[in-house]
Structure 1
Amino acid sequence: MRTVLLGLALMAGPAFADDAVIEGAAARASASGWSFSVTLRHAETGWDDYADGWRVETEDGEVLGTRVLAHPHVNEQPFTRSLSGVVVPEGTTAIVIRARTSADGWGKDLYQLDLP
């Protein structure tokens, strides 16, 4: 019985592993708002499944800005893209970043970034 359950768990694993992974992020403040650079990795297959965006959120889930990624990056992994002009509420010391894929939508994993 244990072998069957283990086998089923291993077969089901890849179906849940398709989220884009945020490998790193950086933030910089300026007079025109905050700029964020985010490095993503995703097992892209082309237009049917690719990392198509990421967003900056407060720790309580308020979306501050979204970076749309307009095309697959199959041969460019990992890759880094930026978003500038993000207004971060006064007194915020950390934000979270969430990635999205065209096939699965917004991922559940959050990347926390302490603001400098």
Structure 2
Amino acid sequence: MAAKDDRGRAGEDRAARHLTQLGYDILDRNWRVRQGELDIVAATARELVVVEVKTRRSEAYGHPFDAVDARKSERLWRLACAWVAAHPMAVRGRRIRLDVIGITGDDVDTAVLEHVEDLR
């Protein structure tokens, strides 16, 4: 399990670098409450973005995005609301959106990174 955790952490690091390169500010990482965890909370001038990161060695068991079904999406929205309640000043009129970043490949640093904005 430690190798899987390390791989997931490496994927989250790569996703955070990707977001930073796009101009996002990283506000929080691995924010946890009893109900679950948010991988990354980022912001632009106009949006607060909750980012779920899925890292896979291959698509043998499905695409990384397949892991974010309607049930997972609803849970992420509930967690986003909990994060906002705990950090009300971070919203400041920003729209809230949910993104998913999928990373597929053996070497996380060179793996294919796909970013879906505004998952609904």
Both structures adopt the same fold (TM-score exceeding 0.5): no
Which has a greater percent of helix?
A: 2
Query: Structure 1 length as normaliser, TM-score?
Result: 0.29
Which has a greater percent of strand?
A: 1
- Greater Rg, structure 1 or structure 2? 1
